[in-house]
Amino acid sequence: MTPKEKEILEALAWMCEQYLSRGNGFLDHKAMHAGELAIEVLASYGFVKSDIQGDSWTEEGLLLLEGS
């Protein structure tokens, strides 16, 4: 990942954390297409995973939010 990609993905991750977070590590796109796409992009980089309970941050995603 280039430094520019990392910068963009960090911004996207924080947007998701601010607007889509349930507050328990899970994300809810709230049936917004933009939210769905944001989660898909983060998942394609391994920052979000999907399971039966919904979408949640991976360890790598949490590190991205920490700025590591």
Model confidence pLDDT, tens digit, residues 27-41? 998 888 999 999 999
State which amino acid sits at residue 16.
C
Tokens of residue 39, six digits:
């989660």
Helix (H, G, I), strand (E, B) or coil at 30: coil
Domain ranges of the chain: 3-66
Q: What is the pTM of this model?
A: 0.87
Rounded to an integer, what distance in angstroms lies between the CA atom of residue 68 and that of residue 53? 27
Give the tens place of pLDDT for each residue, 2-58. 999 999 999 999 999 999 998 888 999 888 899 999 999 999 999 999 888 789 999
Longest dimension (CA), the chain: 33
In angstroms, rounded to a whole number, what is the distance separating the alpha carbons of residues 64 and 53?
Answer: 22
